A = this chain, B = another copy of it.
């Protein structure tokens, strides 16, 4: 399959970004945080090119900031900078913080079952250069998409899952992931991951599911949505926590429907929203645009 972004082009993009870093900080709000951080970066020769800041509830609330900065010779200077930052700034303000090199792309392990629309959108956007990540592998409990995935030169791991073999299957999944991927994307993966698995990737497992106003509980939500004659259907992408479908929401979107849409049509429209919403959420994650506090996200996009 021909690539829109050639390797040469990719390399050029990487070079442009090789001195670009993204810093995420959350901490209890108090006076002087921005001053301390920006002075630190300035004194270390970094040039802030973009920053977003948000304070949740000024009185006794939380402070969040995302800073993009350029620093010459980043690769070599990052580690001492991190050591310094912890000592000079972070400890004083009780910061929860991280710095990410733009050139070290996030590496995705995409989990999929039998529906391919979310996987295809991620592959398409990755191929077009719109998804700034590496796709390390695809893991599926079914063999169906091997040919598709391998045609993109991406490894495909078929790991069947049954009620009995689930713990064993998760062990295999963790084994093939190893240190090859840092982010798990559940692209319509129809198995529930165990808390043990999820704990390995805190705020790094992204799931997509359909959403309705009002919500419909039970096994056939599209049939219920049709029976009730909803006028809008949607999808929600969220980080996975132990509470099923209850983790921090990353992105949501909707589309209008009408009485003319039968159950099949609602499902088709639902698939289109799901792939768009999941792709947006994954993009923001890999560009380090998301901070999580308690059960909600702060998305700087």
Contacts and interface: CB of A to CB of B under 8 A. Distances in A.
5 contacts: A31-B42, A39-B39, A50-B55, A228-B296, A229-B295
Interface in A1-56: 1-2, 4, 29, 31-35, 38-39, 41-42, 45-56
Interface in A56-90: 56-58, 70
Nearest to A259: B298
Quick one: which of A58, A128, A213, A236 has the most chain B CB within 10 A? Answer: A213
A230 B294 CA distance: 14
B259 A297 contact: yes
A227 B293 CA distance: 10
A118 to B, nearest CB: 12
Given A32-B42, A52-B53, A151-B151, 19 more contacts: A1-B147, A1-B148, A1-B151, A2-B147, A31-B47, A33-B48, A35-B35, A35-B41, A38-B39, A39-B39, A51-B53, A54-B260, A211-B214, A213-B254, A228-B248, A228-B296, A229-B248, A232-B234, A258-B299
A128 B124 contact: no
A117 interface: yes
Contact of A296 (B144, B229, B271): B229
Contact of A213 (B29, B144, B236, B301): B236
Interface string A226-254: 11111110101000000001001111111
Nearest to A32: B42
* A interface majority secondary structure: mixed
A294 B259 CA distance: 13
A148 B2 contact: yes
A170 interface: no
A104 interface: no
Given A151-B151, A260-B54, A213 B231 contact: no
Contact of A253 (B47, B232, B272): B232
A249 B227 contact: no
Interface in A133-191: 144-145, 147-148, 151
Contacts of A42: 31-32, 35
Interface string A179-214: 000000000000000000000000000000001111
B268 A249 contact: no
B236 A249 contact: no
A215 B236 CA distance: 12
A75 B76 CA distance: 49
Contact of A50 (B32, B53, B227): B53
A199 B220 CA distance: 31
Nearest to A265: B130
A39 B301 CA distance: 26
B249 A229 contact: yes
B232 A2 contact: no
